[in-house]
Amino acid sequence: MGMETYIQVLKNNRLKVTPRRKAIIGVFMKHGVRMGPYELYEKLKRKLPKLGLPTVYRILEELKDAGILVQSLAEDRRLRYALCACPDEHHHHFTCRKCKKVEEVEFCNFNGLSSFIEKNLNAKVESHNLQIEGLCARCR
């Protein structure tokens, strides 16, 4: 997926296409791993010297809300972000604990659990979030 696709997602979510947003997306496209806000800031501060860490946090949240990034909780209990290759489709992500590579998982078998919850708890499921981690084929 190229930058043009992510630019269209920004526009669809009524977010301006700014150099900072494009630079952040570009770092994720280049590295293909999950990163925390500070790691991202370190990679961008030379290219964008006026970029502040609070702005990085704000843009990460905006990109997450737009579906461009996926957020996960790392082993150290800190939030990390990774690029989502299919922002318009429901799917999950697998993160390698060793190399931090993030891969798309285009399978979701949540309907059975959702039906169970609705039937047995008389509740309405509106969304879900599944975090899958382990070792990728290369690190295994």
Ranked by mean pLDDT, the top range of 29-33, 74-78, 105-109, 110-114 is: 29-33
Q: What is the mean pLDDT of residues 121-126?
A: 90
DSSP assignment string, 53-65: HHHHHHHHHHHHH
Torsion of Cα atoms, 7 then 45 then 74 then 126, to 10°: -30
Task: Report the C-alpha gap between 24 and 5 in whole angstroms.
Answer: 15
Residues 92-108: tens digit of each pLDDT: 778 888 888 877 777 77
Residues 49-79: tens digit of each pLDDT: 999 999 999 999 999 999 899 888 877 888 8
> Domains in the chain, please, with CATH?
3-134 (1.10.10.10)
Q: Does residue 53 contact residue 91 with C-beta atoms inside 8 Å?
A: no
Task: Report the C-alpha gap between 104 and 43 in whole angstroms.
Answer: 24
**Which alpha helices (H) appear in 13-85, and where do they start and end?**
19-31, 37-44, 53-66
> What length is written for the chain?
140
Contacts with 3 (C-beta within 8 Å, 6 or more apart), sequence order: 22, 25, 26, 29
Q: Which residues pair with 94 in a beta bridge?
A: 103, 132
